Chains A and B, each alone.
Chain A
Amino acid sequence: MTKPYLELKNLSKSYDGRSRALDSVNLTAGKGEFITFLGPSGSGKTTTLMLIAGFEAASEGEILVDGVSIGRVPPHKRGIGIVFQNYALFPHRTALQNVMFPLQMRKLPKAQATEKARAMLALVGLEHFAERHPREMSGGQQQRVALARALVFDPALLLLDEPLGALDKNLRENLQIEIKRIQRSLGVTTIFVTHDQSEAMAMSDRIVVFEGGRLQQAGTPLDVYDRPVNDFVARFVGDSNLLPLRLTDPAAGTGEIPGIGPVRLPAQPGRRAGEAATLLLRPEVLGLAAEGAANTCRMQVETVVHFGDSALIIGRAGETPLRARLPGLAAQGIAEDSEIALSWNPTAGHLIPAA
């Protein structure tokens, strides 16, 4: 990463002076980066966004944009574009007047403001809707107007607070692509807040996972997916099997899972024999048992859910619940209440140290 553009230093927020809605968050973002704050509601992601926007004051810590602390700058002087979940368009103004608003506040001459606002509406594909009022537009169109309005004044940062939450699935996927395209073409540093992990995976340069007011993990989508730092991240991002494991020979990479037996793992230098840990196996790394596979287990099938391209097999290995995602063709012959043999590659498992 290049030199940090946005820095959160030891950022904390408490509303009642005792419990912390946000606890010592440290994060840096490079110019032009697309960062997603991912977490369940109440995890601190929206609080962080409100602190950056200036709608709430931090209890402790600092926010720097381009090296300058903005903690004492009022929201209207921060120059940060925000898109709210409910669009927050001004109902008494047309789409064009909405987009012109920030330019008007910056005392731009009207002709110039109109021209800029029209260009921005064209960028979001709404040049023919300029004269419509928000109530005459669909949710997706309103969200595009809100995006255009947040971008038209060349903001230092773009904050998106669950902007797609209220839209249906197809529209949401189209807008994800659209937002990404516009964000790249303008090169604006962006923070996107969502509780939808697939949205986070699809859009982000980096994902920051929040839980209980704390930053759990920050990394690329594949980092977070393949190498979660704890059970929470593993569970929250993607579907997962978390199997309790006891290391038998860390240097050689062997362990034992109760109910499944001995398994092979990547070598775990620096860990002690007998140490407890959790093995993360994503359902898609499990396959029907191959000849001579290093790791195998027998699974009692309880439910088979067919998606067409793939199928989710839900069952148990001994007492341990297990989920496997198999290619559609491979899963065709599997009946509920039958027993199947599964295997996985030792390098496909990720070991999470016990908390």
Chain B
Amino acid sequence: MSAAVTASPEKQAGGSSLKSWLLLAPLMVFLAAFFLVPLAQVAVMSVTDPEFGFGHYVDIATDGFHLRVLLDTFLTALVVSLCCLLLGFPLAYAMAAAPGGMAAAMMVVVTMSFWTSFLVRTYAWMVLLGNRGPIAQFVQWLGFEAPELLFTRFSSTVAMTHILLPYMVLSLYGVLKRIEPSLPRSAASLGATPLSVIRHVVLPLAAPGIANGLTLVFVLCLGFYVTPILLGSPREQMVAGVIGQQVEEFLAFGEASAMAMVLLASTLVVLGLYHRRFGLDRLWG
């Protein structure tokens, strides 16, 4: 009797966990078929195509070109993350301080660029930065020689900053909005200038959001493909572009796979560092 009584909740718990697995099943099957299996294939290909061995990884580590591409990619991602922080912080700060209606309007403007395809935004930058674009024409009108803006690291950095800025703004807005309004006020009453309030109160309390935004933008930027391909300098490519080129132009699947694995590993390292410090579950807010 007592055994039956104690057994039934266990059975129930077992039943409900079975149910929740069933609910997850379609997604699991989808992920396995379209993500894990291809990923495994890429991993296998990186050490078997055209022949078995770790030759591609040795090449990546030693031939100079690949390391430079990786370094360029990391550098670009770092610059883009910092630009997003510098541009995003004042915006998020203003949004958090603005009254309800104003804050909502600013939020719409920020997320509006989310709703536009980033391919469209990339082409928009091509128009803006092009040789006959408004910026070039303005510079010429001032009497200077038109600078070469398009197909440089500058143009791809600008466009990626623009595309990734909303991620930064949203993660900063989240922490800034949670700062109790009486804290900056009390800091001011205690003698802190507006700059000191930001330095000693707002920034320390916003630190998790800053780390969050930097990580998010950095990781997304590492794998960026279309924008650097369309806008960037062909001489200073990013990893994703090189992988695409190897696949499409040289049919070098093994080499491309090895690069992809290195890119994946670097991304995981960044996320791992974030996880150790803050916990990964907070990354998306």
Q: Which positions in A face B, CB cutoff 8 Å?
A: 53-55, 74-82, 84, 86, 88, 90-92, 101-102, 104-106, 149-150, 153
Q: Which 10 A-B residue pairings sit nearest by Cβ, starting from the closest?
A: A105-B191, A102-B190, A88-B186, A88-B182, A75-B188, A82-B189, A84-B182, A76-B188, A92-B204, A105-B192
B132 within 8 A of A: no
Cβ of A76 and Cβ of B186 under 8 Å apart? Answer: no
Which of B186, B192, B205 is within 8 Å of A84, CB to CB? B186
Task: Point out the residues of chain A lying under 8 angstroms from B193, CB to CB.
Answer: 76, 105
Q: Mark B186-205, 1 if CB is under 8 A from A, else 0.
A: 11111111101000110011
Cβ of B186 and Cβ of A105 under 8 Å apart? Answer: no
Number of interface residues of B (CB under 8 A): 18
B10 within 8 A of A: no
- Since A81-B189, A88-B186 are in contact, a sample of 18 more A-B pairs with Cβ atoms closer than 8 Å, ordered by chain A residue number, is A75-B188, A75-B189, A76-B189, A76-B191, A76-B192, A76-B193, A78-B189, A80-B189, A86-B182, A90-B201, A92-B204, A92-B205, A101-B187, A101-B190, A101-B200, A102-B190, A104-B200, A153-B191
User: Shortest distance in angstroms between B183's beta carbon and chain A's nearest beta carbon?
Assistant: 6
User: Closest residue to B194 on the A side, CB-wise?
Assistant: A76
B185 within 8 A of A: yes
Task: Point out the residues of chain A lying under 8 angstroms from B63, CB to CB.
Answer: none
User: Closest residue to B205 on the A side, CB-wise?
Assistant: A92
A194–B193 Cα gap in the complex (Å)? 29
Task: Point out the residues of chain A lying under 8 angstroms from B145, CB to CB.
Answer: none
User: Shortest distance in angstroms between A62's beta carbon and chain B's nearest beta carbon?
Assistant: 20
Task: Point out the residues of chain A lying under 8 angstroms from B183, CB to CB.
Answer: 88, 90
Task: Point out the residues of chain A lying under 8 angstroms from B182, CB to CB.
Answer: 84, 86, 88
Task: Point out the residues of chain B lying under 8 angstroms from A75, CB to CB.
Answer: 185, 188-189
Cβ of A149 and Cβ of B205 under 8 Å apart? Answer: no
Task: Point out the residues of chain A lying under 8 angstroms from B192, CB to CB.
Answer: 76, 101, 105
User: Shortest distance in angstroms between B190's beta carbon and chain A's nearest beta carbon?
Assistant: 4
User: Closest residue to B181 on the A side, CB-wise?
Assistant: A88
Task: Point out the residues of chain A lying under 8 angstroms from B186, CB to CB.
Answer: 82, 84, 88
Task: Point out the residues of chain B lying under 8 angstroms from A54, CB to CB.
Answer: 189
Are A149 and B204 CB-contacts (below 8 A) given A55-B185, A88-B185?
no
A148–B100 Cα gap in the complex (Å)? 34
Interface centre among B189, B190, B194 (most CB of A within 10 A): B190
A88–B196 Cα gap in the complex (Å)? 17
User: Shortest distance in angstroms between A36's beta carbon and chain B's nearest beta carbon?
Assistant: 20
Task: Point out the residues of chain B lying under 8 angstroms from A55, CB to CB.
Answer: 185, 188
18 A-B contacts (beta carbon < 8 Å):
A55-B185, A75-B189, A76-B191, A76-B192, A76-B193, A79-B191, A82-B185, A82-B186, A84-B186, A88-B185, A90-B187, A92-B205, A101-B187, A105-B192, A105-B193, A149-B190, A150-B189, A150-B190
B51 within 8 A of A: no
Task: Point out the residues of chain A lying under 8 angstroms from B194, CB to CB.
Answer: 76
Which of B180, B188, B201, B205 is within 8 Å of A86, CB to CB? B180
User: Closest residue to A146 on the B side, CB-wise?
Assistant: B186
A-B contact count (CB 8 A): 61
Which of A74, A82, A86, A105 is within 8 Å of B196, CB to CB? A105
User: Shortest distance in angstroms between A142's beta carbon and chain B's nearest beta carbon?
Assistant: 12
A75–B182 Cα gap in the complex (Å)? 13
Cβ of A53 and Cβ of B189 under 8 Å apart? Answer: yes
Interface centre among A102, A104, A105 (most CB of B within 10 A): A105
Q: Mark B158-201, 1 if CB is under 8 A from A, else 0.
A: 00000000000000000000001011011111111110100011
User: Shortest distance in angstroms between B100's beta carbon and chain A's nearest beta carbon?
Assistant: 15
User: Closest residue to A53 on the B side, CB-wise?
Assistant: B189
Cβ of B190 and Cβ of A105 under 8 Å apart? Answer: yes
A80–B180 Cα gap in the complex (Å)? 20
- Among B9-65, those with CB < 8 Å from A are none
Cβ of A91 and Cβ of B185 under 8 Å apart? Answer: no
Task: Point out the residues of chain B lying under 8 angstroms from A80, CB to CB.
Answer: 189
User: Shortest distance in angstroms between B204's beta carbon and chain A's nearest beta carbon?
Assistant: 5
Task: Point out the residues of chain B lying under 8 angstroms from A102, CB to CB.
Answer: 190-191
Interface centre among A79, A82, A88 (most CB of B within 10 A): A88
Interface centre among B182, B200, B204 (most CB of A within 10 A): B182
User: Closest residue to B183 on the A side, CB-wise?
Assistant: A88
User: Closest residue to B182 on the A side, CB-wise?
Assistant: A88
User: Closest residue to B184 on the A side, CB-wise?
Assistant: A88
User: Closest residue to B193 on the A side, CB-wise?
Assistant: A76
Task: Point out the residues of chain B lying under 8 angstroms from A74, CB to CB.
Answer: 188
Task: Point out the residues of chain A lying under 8 angstroms from B205, CB to CB.
Answer: 91-92
User: Shortest distance in angstroms between A91's beta carbon and chain B's nearest beta carbon?
Assistant: 7
A226–B39 Cα gap in the complex (Å)? 85
User: Closest residue to B192 on the A side, CB-wise?
Assistant: A105
Task: Point out the residues of chain B lying under 8 angstroms from A92, CB to CB.
Answer: 204-205
User: Closest residue to B191 on the A side, CB-wise?
Assistant: A105
User: Shortest distance in angstroms between A166's beta carbon and chain B's nearest beta carbon?
Assistant: 13
Task: Point out the residues of chain A lying under 8 angstroms from B190, CB to CB.
Answer: 76, 81, 101-102, 105, 149-150, 153
A84–B180 Cα gap in the complex (Å)? 12
User: Shortest distance in angstroms between A78's beta carbon and chain B's nearest beta carbon?
Assistant: 7
A313–B191 Cα gap in the complex (Å)? 53
User: Shortest distance in angstroms between A73's beta carbon and chain B's nearest beta carbon?
Assistant: 12
Which of A88, A101, A104 is within 8 Å of B180, CB to CB? A88
Task: Point out the residues of chain A lying under 8 angstroms from B189, CB to CB.
Answer: 53-54, 75-76, 78, 80-82, 150
A101–B200 Cα gap in the complex (Å)? 9
User: Shortest distance in angstroms between A93's beta carbon and chain B's nearest beta carbon?
Assistant: 8
Task: Point out the residues of chain A lying under 8 angstroms from B187, CB to CB.
Answer: 90, 101
A349–B184 Cα gap in the complex (Å)? 49
A153–B187 Cα gap in the complex (Å)? 13
User: Closest residue to B207 on the A side, CB-wise?
Assistant: A92
User: Shortest distance in angstroms between A290's beta carbon and chain B's nearest beta carbon?
Assistant: 54
User: Closest residue to A84 on the B side, CB-wise?
Assistant: B182
